[in-house]
Amino acid sequence: MKLRKTKLKQIYKYLGKNKYWLTIAIFALTIIIFHPVNIFKLADNQKKLVDLELQEQYLSTKIEQDSIKLNELKQNNITLEKFAREQYFFHKSNEDVFVIDRSNN
């Protein structure tokens, strides 16, 4: 029992000397963990930001490519006809269209 009391006295004495540092540490941990804008959310938001920037870069290049293709289709009827035949299987009245499914190979 005396050993326990002496241990408690030592702990109390240690905490008494370092009460300011202990208070600062508890406050910092509380802010880091429980604040609405904590470190975990900041890291998650940073990751989302990087993903969105990559997606923006991909989509901007895709828009440029599609704009070039659209201008080409608007200006040239031969490319428009070729596009319609390849993508939508359009055909002239006197010809047949055969679709070969290559996804099973």
Same domain, 44 and 87: yes
Question: How sure is the predictor about 36, in pLDDT bands with cuts at 50, 70 and 90?
Answer: confident
Q: Which two tokens stand for residue 55?
A: 């997606």
Query: How many domains, the chain?
Result: 2
104 domain-assigned: no
Percent of the chain with pLDDT over 70: 96
In contact, 39 and 32? CB cutoff 8 Å? yes
Task: Report which of residues 26 and 50 the model is more confident about.
Answer: 50
Mean of the per-residue pLDDT values of the chain: 85
Same domain, 28 and 69: no
Tell me the DSSP string of 34-75: HSSS-HHHHHHHHHHHHHHHHHHHHHHHHHHHHHHHHHHHHH
Task: Report which of residues 47 and 19 the model is more confident about.
Answer: 47
Residue 60 has pLDDT above 70, yes or no: yes
Same domain, 72 and 92: yes
What is the extent of the structural domain holding 68?
40-97
86 domain-assigned: yes
64 domain-assigned: yes
Residue 1 has pLDDT above 70, yes or no: no
**C-alpha torsion 57→61→63→64, nearest 10:** 140
Rounded to an integer, what distance in angstroms lies between the CA atom of residue 58 and that of residue 63? 9
